Amino acid sequence: MEELLTQRGVTNVTPRCGNFLELDPADAANAALTHFMLDPSCSSSGMSANPTAAGDAEAIAKLTANQEAVVRHAMRFPAARVVVYSTCSVYAAENEAVVRRVLAAEPGFELAPALEFWERRGVAGGEGGLAGEDAAKVVRTALEDGTIGFFLAKFVRRGGGGGGGGGGGGG
């Protein structure tokens, strides 16, 4: 990663190797962190023309619990303003459902439109979907788009500034 950043001339990113969930939001060294790009482990169901069925409910449940924990952890950093969540999954359980639970648990954050030029948006309604307004703010891709299955949501702190936790409790 360091080599790639150097090749691209990026000077405002410091790569770290470790468990993100162990990074302390209260540590003074992390006080200025404002933007988070999160790509936690997922089923990788979007990486195949014939994705594996979501039949392994236990495995999907473990993945989604970790995905939600990672997003909510980023929101606890005092200066966090933007938290971007992505997966290479086609399953609503790992995408819209995670976003829906995070929004319910973290009222200090809301969705902002992501990649507005992209036509395909999120799943609305139903058990795994988002409210229509929120579904229109997230991005979904599919093989017929000429790319892998991919999902992206952009959370922003309400009021635009840092300060305080994400609005939710631990976990």
Cβ atoms 100, 77 nearer than 8 A: no
Calpha distance 75→52 (Å, rounded): 31
Burial of 122 (0-12, 13-18, 19+ CB in 10 A): buried
- Tokens representing 99 are 């976003």
Strands 139-141 and 150-157: antiparallel
Rounded to an integer, what distance in angstroms lies between the CA atom of residue 160 and that of residue 71?
17
Check 88, 92, 93, 98 and give the catalytic one.
88
To the query of whether residue 42 is one of the catalytic residues in this protein, the response is: no
So which residues are the catalytic ones?
Answer: 88
